[in-house]
Structures are given as structure tokens and as C-alpha cells.
Amino acid sequence: MATYKEIHGVNIQHRDADPTAVEGDVWYNSSTSKLRMYASVGAWASGPNANETGQQRATFGTSTSAVSAGGDPSPLLSQAETYDGSSWSNIADLNTGGRIRTAAGTAAAAIVFLGNPPQAGYDNTELWNGSSWTEVNDLGTARYGAAGAGTSTAGLAFGGFTWPPSSTKNETEEFDGTNWTEQNNLNTQRHTHAGAGTQTAALCISGGDAGEDERVTNVESYNGTSWTEINDVNTARGRRGACGNVSGTSAIFAAGYTGSQSALAEQYDGTSWTEVGDLSTARRWTSGAGNDGTNSLVVGGYDGSSNLNTTEVWTFSASVETIAFD
């Protein structure tokens, strides 16, 4: 637990151990009597290209073991492929192709749900068992551009959009491996936002509000019962930025749309968002997966003129330095 004390006129965190930190964090380690900082936390590097070129895909898993499925261009992609940390391989197709779909789970067990074909919205859910897809019970509210979190037996869907008629959603539904159940709504309706975490510790991040060009910085945290507004991201982004994590206390939120496609990336440390290194390619309508807020994978998207099959990987590499002071 951190406390704050003044050192040379500046409030500095006092901790009894080095924390999980983001670039630029400074703290005093009371156990070692050292003033310390994270001088560098990581960087983006190009990963191997996916087999399919497209945007608005559903991606799930980790930065070294992931699946990416569905998407755009037309005809709507039903193709799916798996990533093993070094290359992509095609796997069994989805039963129902679609774009702006949502996913939760691991490369071995997951659900892909919602989406649009290309208007209105699906209520469809497909279960992935590591080798094939099976259609299971539908959601209560059909929509697309929602976000998800959790696993194949404890999933979460929240927000989204339907058209026609035009309607932005704040509905939340939980999946127990068989059925979807309505839960408490988001405080702020939104679509094409990012989501991450588990069914009992999830993040709902930024996104569009009413129209495509009305974006919010708002972030909400889910505790398994209700949503609470927490600290905002620094830059509002819609049209599906990528987010990689497996907890509600750390995340990387990358790319998206700010009025044009974005290369921005922000890291969440459980309290606040900090801008970190930009992607090499600005993109929107991308998707992502990640181990936590320290290792993330961004897949495909749209760069303003072309659909992409390029990937980028964020790898945490902390450099902890001791600061000398009198």
C-alpha cells in the first residue's frame, strides 16, 4: 500500500516494495531507503502478418496464444486463425460470418458473440473448444460494436449499437457457459468501445456515445454486480481500439479513432491511464489480446486507405533505476 510524503517539496509515493509501474513513475522504497523510478517500460514491435486482411475482427487470448475471427471486408469474413507467438495458421471457420463482433476467453476455449451482417445486429453466440465452433444460446439484446470480457464459461457483454433504428446501448449481460442473463447497465451508453478483464473485474473503455464522431473518455469498472465510473483515458477513441489484459486492474488501450485513425496507446495501472509508446501504424477498427497490461497484441484494422493484416506486439521491459539525491 502506498502513502505519500513530501521529499524536497514534491509528493512522492512511499512503498515497502517496488510496485507494478508505468513509465515515468517515481516512488520511495522504504525497505531499501532508495528513491526509484521506471525509466522505460516497453515498446511496440512488428509481429508476423495475419493470413487474412481485414478490420473489425474479434480477437481473444494472449500476446503469444490468440485467435482472430470474422471481420470485414465483404463478403463478411467467417475465417478464423490462430497465433502461437511466431506465426498464424488457419483454423475452422465460424458458422456465421460477421463484422464488429466481440469475444472473450483463451485460444483453447472462448465465445464469439454479437456483430452485424452488415446492418442491424446479431444476438448470435458461438463457442470455441480449441478445434471447432458450436452455436449456443443467444443474447437477450441483439447489437454490434459491443465489448466483452471474461471466459467461455463466465463471459460478459456490454454496450453496443443497433441500426436501424439508430440506438446506442448500455445493456450488460453475463454468460454462464449456457445462458445469458441481464445485469445492471453501464452508466454511460456507448458503442465501438474496448473491454477487458473478467466477469467480476472488467473495464469498459472510451468509445462512441451517440453518433460515430461523438466519443467519450469515460471508463467504467465492473465488480460482478454493478458499474462504477473511474479515471478517464487521456484521449477519447471510438471505432474499436484494441485492449489487451486479463484483469480489471491493468490494461493497454491502443489505436482507435479520434477524428482520424490513431496510433496512441495508454497503459492502466489500476488507478490511472498513462500514455506510452505509439504504434508504428495508426489504425482504427483493430482488435487485440493480451496477458495483462504488460504484453499485448494488436491485429489488423484500417489505416485510412487500406485494410490491414499487420500486427504489433507490446512487450513490457522495465528498467528500474535508483535516483541519487541529497
Averaged pLDDT for residues 183-205 = 94
Q: Is residue 135 located within the same domain as residue 30?
A: no
Cell of 63: 500476446
Q: Is residue 245 located within the same domain as residue 209?
A: yes
- Compute the mean pLDDT over every residue in the chain, rounded to the nearest whole number: 88
Structural domain harbouring 16:
3-41+318-323
Q: Is residue 236 located within the same domain as residue 146?
A: yes
In whole angstroms, what is the distance from residue 166 CA to residue 67 CA?
31
What local confidence, expressed as pLDDT, does residue 251 receive? 87
Split at pLDDT 50, 70, 90, the class of 32 is: confident
Among 65-74, 136-145, 247-256, which stretch is predicted with the lowest mean pLDDT? 247-256
Cβ contact 304:261 at 8 Å: yes
Look at residue 179 and tell me whether its pLDDT is greater than 70.
yes
Q: Is residue 24 located within the same domain as residue 135?
A: no
Look at residue 28 and tell me whether its pLDDT is greater than 60.
yes
Q: Residue 264, class by beta-carbon neighbours within 10 Å (0-12 exposed, 13-18 middle, 19+ buried)? A: buried
- What residues pair up with 215 in beta bridges, in sequence order? 208
What local confidence, expressed as pLDDT, does residue 117 receive? 76
Q: Is residue 256 located within the same domain as residue 181?
A: yes
Between strands 227-230 and 147-150, the pairing is unpaired
Q: Is residue 90 located within the same domain as residue 36?
A: no
Q: Is residue 34 located within the same domain as residue 67?
A: no
In whole angstroms, what is the distance from residue 324 CA to residue 139 CA?
57
Averaged pLDDT for residues 44-52 = 95
Task: Give 246-271 pLDDT, tens digit per residue.
Answer: 566 788 899 999 999 999 999 888 88
Cβ contact 147:193 at 8 Å: yes
**pLDDT: which is higher, 103 or 290:** 103
Stated pTM of the model: 0.85
Look at residue 185 and tell me whether its pLDDT is greater than 90.
yes
Looking at the structure of the chain, the number of domains it has is 2
Q: Which of 235, 243, 288, 244 is nearest to 262 (CA)?
A: 235
Q: What angle do CA 116, 68, 227 make, to 5 degrees?
A: 65
Q: Is residue 15 located within the same domain as residue 58?
A: no
Cβ contact 194:253 at 8 Å: yes
